[in-house]
Amino acid sequence: MEERIEKIKQQLQSQAYKLTHQREATVRVLLENEEDHLSAEDVFMLVKDKAPEIGLATVYRTLELLSELHVVEKINFGDGVARYDLRNDSTHHHHHHLICVQCGAMDEIMEDWLGPLEERVEEQFNFTVVDHRLDFQGICFRCNGKTNNPI
């Protein structure tokens, strides 16, 4: 935990970015809520516990910066809000999403199934993959359990 913060700090400093209280607090919130997909507003509310003076604009600016540094990934589920995921750089590419169209739940597949497809993209299209994203929409196991659902 502390070592991950240290690493991100160094990443910032190596690019001559300053390490402000607000930035550190934001990074800590992201680390503490790694499994979630926080919106800027979510992050804002959580950061306020650690740095009550912070403004929403700063949160946006920090998330944008972390995104440029590839510390977080900005993702979008189509609900009109950007969400920010910490990049797990040990695996680099991480998980996929199962989004339930019935109850709105979002589960994750914590594996990367796309290795073979990435190779195929590189060969077939001469496209150098940097990142990917895979979401499935459908009916989750909970809703499937409740009733037979003829979409």
Partner DNA sequence: GTGATTGCAAAAACTTTGCAGATTG
Partner DNA sequence: CAATCTGCAAAGTTTTTGCAATCAC
Q: Answer with the entry of DNA, its own copies, none that 64 interacts with (C-beta below 5 to 8 A by kind).
A: DNA
85 is an interface residue for its own copies by CB under 8 A: no
92: contact with its own copies by CB under 8 A: no
Contacts of 64-67 spanning 24+ positions with Cβ under 8 A:
65/17, 65/23, 66/8, 66/26, 66/27, 66/30
Of 46, 65, 44, 63, nearest to 55 by C-alpha is 44
Q: How far is CA 104 from CA 68, 80, 139, 142, in A?
A: 30, 14, 9, 11
Taking CB under 8 A as the rule, does residue 57 contact its own copies?
Answer: no
Judged by the rule CB under 7 A, the positions of this chain that interact with DNA are: 13, 16-23, 39-41, 51, 53-58, 60-62, 64, 80-82
Tally of residues, the chain:
151
- Token digits for 65? 């910066």
Q: What, of its own copies, DNA, none, does residue 60 touch, CB below 5 to 8 Å by kind?
A: DNA
Cβ-based neighbour number of residue 122 at 10 Å = 12
What is the rounded CA–CA span in Å between residue 112 and residue 16? 33
Q: Which of 103, 117, 119, 146 binds its own copies (CB under 8 A)?
A: 117
- Using CB under 8 A as the binding rule, whether residue 104 contacts its own copies is answered as no
State which of residues 1, 14, 52, 130 lies at the interface with its own copies (CB under 8 A): 130
Please state the closest distance from residue 60 (CB atom) to DNA, in A: 4
| Residues at the site binding its own copies, with contacts judged by CB under 8 A | 74-78, 80, 82, 98, 101, 107, 109, 113-114, 117-118, 120-121, 125-141, 144-145, 149, 151
Binding positions for Zn(2+) are 100, 103, 140, 143
